[in-house]
Chain A
């Protein structure tokens, strides 16, 4: 029975009938259509649903709508006024505090309440006020700046710098856009709650779906009875695995998954059946009416045990139906040079075991998908995916329809980090349920389901040996790696290669050997998390290099200089060509910024500094499925109104890739940013881009945009030159104009330039650009895996304060320098660096996927799976190094994943510097750190 409730929402009395068990969040989102308040964690752990109730920040997901009767509720939609966005919203935009934009409505409301009571908040007050709002993208630093800036604007209203301007600073020399600190094109829409994420979309007659998931880690499905569920009023469709038996996998050679379990389940939480009903409550009730008869099998949970001859088999057959005799999913072994001889000759050898804990992405937006079939049999799926193109292909395959009958649309995505880079059960389920029910179907994961979908950082165990000569030169690395893959293949073969292949820079080894084995276990599947496969082995490498430096009496930063790849044209020990490597400049930057030279030898006990470096790919050599078509493409449409629309199938997931396209097109055509639209993430409208993974987008889509922009710009140039009667090569452009370089007074605005070009062409203006990697990689089996057009480089210094009595580690300073080749926009690059640093430190300090003896994941919420809050995150000092890469657009390389890698070993090295304890196991929890400190004490006695 519904109850009438009148709420004062954003100053307007709204009366609606709501069920008594609806939360305030549901009433706002689904009753009033105010979708700016977000659902992230289900139960008050993340703060994305924060609204102001009578001026106080409260959690709408933990309040009932009916008890808010008569109260004044302010949502993000009510923060702006008739004059436009509020100072706090503009400040978030200008400071680059908005990445995915999903947590920010709640964050902005918490910040508004702070500014209302404290016009000049200290950094500590800002961190405290935001500590109930988790952000997974930014590393909080831009947010701290934004709140302080808004406070200043409110105190001194005359000083709203950059408020109206798109351009907040000058471009790099020789450019009109590239290098300028620009606002992102979608940021203000995110700050005001207008941008729509998948769960914000509502279709007419839309049904809601839920899954029945396995309570067993390993069991055969004997039978499923769905009759009671189907009979429940309000249920429109029920789906079981046997209806969608075509297997799929993100890697075409290893399709070992099905949309819903077929015959057998392999982890607790695996989907077994799905129901579409009028609402989620009914769908959930129906799921519980489904009875499954199980034949429970013993699970295998430990990766070493999984390799025993008598271990239960997670998969009895491979995708081709051939019987398997082991849980070994992929084994890679490669060797470069005589490692054994080099180790025998080494002046110092470290030989030990390291353990890297599994962690998960924890984007604040849970996965969500909507499926809808039109009357002509065409399917549209809206999904929070970061790989729209691969999803498109797999949907067609699994559903048994032509690819031309499927359209995938990716609305705004609330954080991904690799966690949305494969097809998932919900995308197939919404499509299949919608086909059965004849109505659109939406499924929104619960936070627990996000943990089961997982595809997070692989737990890895290393037997790692490293040798150096007396001068500190690393002569040998030998790594035996065991990867816990979980229940399915995912990107497994790539991960197994990456764990070895991506380690060979920026520290250059004389000889190298690795064996990498990925095994199946009965746990949620591991996959690619930011820094896919290559974050883990940096932990043993960079901590062991640190140890060697100290044994040899070499400064740890100097040690890395001694071993760095050359700045230009280096080749790694495993044969990868590295066009540019700015690691030395990165080391210089963090050495200076951290005060390393002055402080390293003189810090008090318990205080420590640690350094580490890394290198990362800017895209991969090949697409996931072999083909000769471009990896990315951009289509431009010039319009006589003066606008350009850029179409590109890339997936904007908060990293700013739509904006990158717009900036490049503006640079090349002189058309102002306000006149450039970007259409992305829609497989019907856009040329294919392979997706937001492997840090490929600026390199590949950026190059495609540059090529298309150059072509359109040339048409404009030539047409204006003809009009002005000057040779085309004399033409110059600046934002909004083309002009004669010899006589700048002779200028034509961009609208006229587009019209002249259209007239000259005699047809509407259209241009295309594309990117495909040239042949890359070394000439051996596996030699192309890890090959990339360009490689970024990073160095971090982390400072810690370790409580030696408790083992508690506090991060007191972080300096991160990243060589991104060229910063097309320094604000967004800085945001990527800071967010990466945050994510690395958080997993190093507190994150771990822990399962009990039955395979039950112990932490399935954002309360129990702890990620760092603002209170745990000091401001991060990010430095940009520009090596101007010869391959990337304008010299640009990646910035979204590389800067994560050094955080973990730099933190471990800082802990050693503070305590003398070498951490070999992650995360560095107080109990582990304390045990390591005590072990040092015991050794010294």
Chain B
């Protein structure tokens, strides 16, 4: 059997204790649902001496309404609960859809929204055993000095492969962290960096613990959808993860008031497209075609994930088109 490396496990009861513990154990890793971290540790993608298990920390589970319409989802809320939450389904259906499409039923009951946000970036050259990576000669993301995807030592392009993150970026969610210096919040879009290396992919200080995801009060009439491209219909990471939001003018029901497309499962940072040029135009077939064309032109999937990159790029166009049509016809 593939073994977990040896480590000590700490089970703090409070948030403060968890963060304090991390300051005294600098190479510790936080453990939530374990569905990402533990397989990665079996692959020896990290070798922490300590795990800080969060299951006993109170106050990090649940979906609540705050500020008259905003949502706050505790970081330890299981993904299945996010998918099943009546509030989430009513306010941000795309988030419920995305959470419900993660992996398989067991993963969604173990895995948490926080874990999905903090998911390690993925790559065919990285998510492999130590022996496999030895045969490869390792890679830039961990233990090596070369990215085999872009054939360069400059940057790691492992893909941020969360299902929920593109949706959260599209709705301008804010992620709340607790650090040794106190609470810290930032827009989720700013959490991810262009370099997927282990120590560079997240724009938060070491030891920062994600506590909640805040979805702002969305404008009335904002529609959202999530489109997942994958090979099989369960237990599969996305080959492309597309979140779309759009608000149409209530007066005519067709003029674009706001529009956002975010694509994940491509690079270390989900790509948010600047589509301001389309605001004010009617969301008709011609506009949808033009938007999809724009997405296609500015999308460049890599060989970091499985599937022909050109086909994945084609799928960005197709799924954008289909998603926008669905939003228009909703």
Interface residues of A (CB under 8 A from B): 1, 3, 19-23, 26, 39, 42-45, 47, 50, 56-59, 62-64, 66-67, 69, 110, 128-129, 131-134, 213-216, 268, 280-281, 284, 444, 446-448, 805-807, 846, 854, 856, 858-860, 863-864, 866, 868-872, 925-927, 930
B59 at interface (Cβ–Cβ under 8 A)? no
Residues of A within 8 A of B136 (CB): 854, 856
B105-A131 in contact (CB<8A) = yes
Distance between A34 CB and nearest chain B CB, rounded to angstroms = 16
Interchain CA distance A444-B1 in the complex, whole Å: 6
Residues of A within 8 A of B275 (CB): none
B307-A927 in contact (CB<8A) = yes
B2-A19 in contact (CB<8A) = no
A/B interface sample: 5 pairs, CB < 8 A: A44-B38, A59-B35, A132-B235, A134-B235, A806-B318
Beyond the given pairs A62-B110, A846-B232, A866-B231, 19 more chain A to chain B contacts, judged by CB atoms under 8 angstroms and listed by A's residue number, are A42-B1, A42-B2, A44-B38, A47-B104, A62-B34, A63-B38, A66-B11, A67-B11, A67-B53, A132-B106, A280-B1, A281-B3, A446-B129, A448-B129, A805-B318, A806-B314, A806-B318, A856-B136, A872-B234
Residues of B within 8 A of A42 (CB): 1-2, 39, 42
CB within 8 Å of A: which B234-265 residues: 234-237
B 31-53 to A, binary, CB cutoff 8 A, 1 in contact else 0: 10011001100110000000101
Interchain CA distance A284-B42 in the complex, whole Å: 13
The one of B9, B38, B129 in contact with A3, judged by C-beta atoms closer than 8 angstroms, is B9
Distance between B186 CB and nearest chain A CB, rounded to angstroms = 29
Interchain CA distance A930-B318 in the complex, whole Å: 13
B233 at interface (Cβ–Cβ under 8 A)? yes
A20-B9 in contact (CB<8A) = yes
Residues of B within 8 A of A868 (CB): 232
The one of B11, B106, B127 in contact with A50, judged by C-beta atoms closer than 8 angstroms, is B106
Interchain CA distance A194-B58 in the complex, whole Å: 39
Distance between B310 CB and nearest chain A CB, rounded to angstroms = 8
Residues of B within 8 A of A39 (CB): 1
Interchain CA distance A605-B97 in the complex, whole Å: 29
Residues of B within 8 A of A63 (CB): 34, 38, 110
Distance between B314 CB and nearest chain A CB, rounded to angstroms = 7
B178 at interface (Cβ–Cβ under 8 A)? no
B135 at interface (Cβ–Cβ under 8 A)? yes
A215-B110 in contact (CB<8A) = no
A45-B235 in contact (CB<8A) = yes
| Residue of chain A at shortest CB distance from B108 | A132
Distance between B3 CB and nearest chain A CB, rounded to angstroms = 6
Interchain CA distance A806-B316 in the complex, whole Å: 10
Interchain CA distance A21-B41 in the complex, whole Å: 10
Distance between A197 CB and nearest chain B CB, rounded to angstroms = 13
Residues of A within 8 A of B306 (CB): 858-859, 864
B276 at interface (Cβ–Cβ under 8 A)? no
The one of A20, A26, A871 in contact with B233, judged by C-beta atoms closer than 8 angstroms, is A871
Interchain CA distance A132-B109 in the complex, whole Å: 11
| Residue of chain A at shortest CB distance from B104 | A132
| Residue of chain B at shortest CB distance from A862 | B235
In the complex with contacts A43-B2, A860-B129, A129-B9 CB distance below 8 A: no
B236-A57 in contact (CB<8A) = no
Residues of A within 8 A of B42 (CB): 42-43
B308 at interface (Cβ–Cβ under 8 A)? yes
B311-A927 in contact (CB<8A) = yes
Interchain CA distance A866-B53 in the complex, whole Å: 31
Residues of A within 8 A of B236 (CB): 863, 866
Interchain CA distance A59-B31 in the complex, whole Å: 15
Distance between A41 CB and nearest chain B CB, rounded to angstroms = 9
In the complex with contacts A805-B318, A864-B124, A62-B104 CB distance below 8 A: no
B235-A131 in contact (CB<8A) = yes
Distance between B26 CB and nearest chain A CB, rounded to angstroms = 19
Residues of A within 8 A of B310 (CB): 927
In the complex with contacts A64-B38, A805-B318, A856-B3 CB distance below 8 A: no
In the complex with contacts A64-B34, A806-B315, A47-B5 CB distance below 8 A: no
Distance between A23 CB and nearest chain B CB, rounded to angstroms = 7
Interchain CA distance A441-B293 in the complex, whole Å: 61
B135-A57 in contact (CB<8A) = no
In the complex with contacts A3-B9, A56-B109, A64-B34, A871-B232 CB distance below 8 A: yes
B6 at interface (Cβ–Cβ under 8 A)? yes
B8 at interface (Cβ–Cβ under 8 A)? yes
Residues of A within 8 A of B109 (CB): 56-58
Interchain CA distance A67-B236 in the complex, whole Å: 26
B232-A47 in contact (CB<8A) = no
Residues of B within 8 A of A444 (CB): 1
Distance between A847 CB and nearest chain B CB, rounded to angstroms = 10
Interchain CA distance A21-B39 in the complex, whole Å: 12
A129-B1 in contact (CB<8A) = no
Interchain CA distance A854-B137 in the complex, whole Å: 11
Determine which residue in A59, A66, A860 has the highest number of CB atoms from chain B within 10 A of its CB, and name it: A59
Residues of A within 8 A of B43 (CB): 43
Residues of B within 8 A of A869 (CB): 104, 232-235
Residues of B within 8 A of A860 (CB): 128-129, 132
| Residue of chain B at shortest CB distance from A856 | B135
B234-A215 in contact (CB<8A) = no
In the complex with contacts A132-B103, A448-B129, A807-B311, A863-B235 CB distance below 8 A: yes
B 70-87 to A, binary, CB cutoff 8 A, 1 in contact else 0: 000000000000000000
Interchain CA distance A62-B132 in the complex, whole Å: 21
| Residue of chain A at shortest CB distance from B38 | A62
Residues of B within 8 A of A59 (CB): 35, 106-107, 110
B106-A58 in contact (CB<8A) = yes
Lowest 4 A-B CB distances belong to which pairs?
Answer: A132-B104, A131-B234, A871-B233, A42-B2
Determine which residue in A23, A47, A62, A846 has the highest number of CB atoms from chain B within 10 A of its CB, and name it: A62
B294 at interface (Cβ–Cβ under 8 A)? no
Interchain CA distance A448-B233 in the complex, whole Å: 23
Residues of B within 8 A of A57 (CB): 105-106, 109
CB within 8 Å of A: which B124-169 residues: 124, 127-129, 131-132, 134-136
A58-B234 in contact (CB<8A) = no
B 104-128 to A, binary, CB cutoff 8 A, 1 in contact else 0: 1111011000000000000010011
| Residue of chain A at shortest CB distance from B80 | A56
Determine which residue in A134, A216, A871 has the highest number of CB atoms from chain B within 10 A of its CB, and name it: A871
| Residue of chain A at shortest CB distance from B109 | A56
B9-A131 in contact (CB<8A) = no
Interchain CA distance A925-B312 in the complex, whole Å: 12
B234-A870 in contact (CB<8A) = yes
In the complex with contacts A42-B1, A64-B9, A806-B315, A128-B231 CB distance below 8 A: no
| Residue of chain B at shortest CB distance from A859 | B306
B4 at interface (Cβ–Cβ under 8 A)? yes
B69 at interface (Cβ–Cβ under 8 A)? no
| Residue of chain B at shortest CB distance from A24 | B34
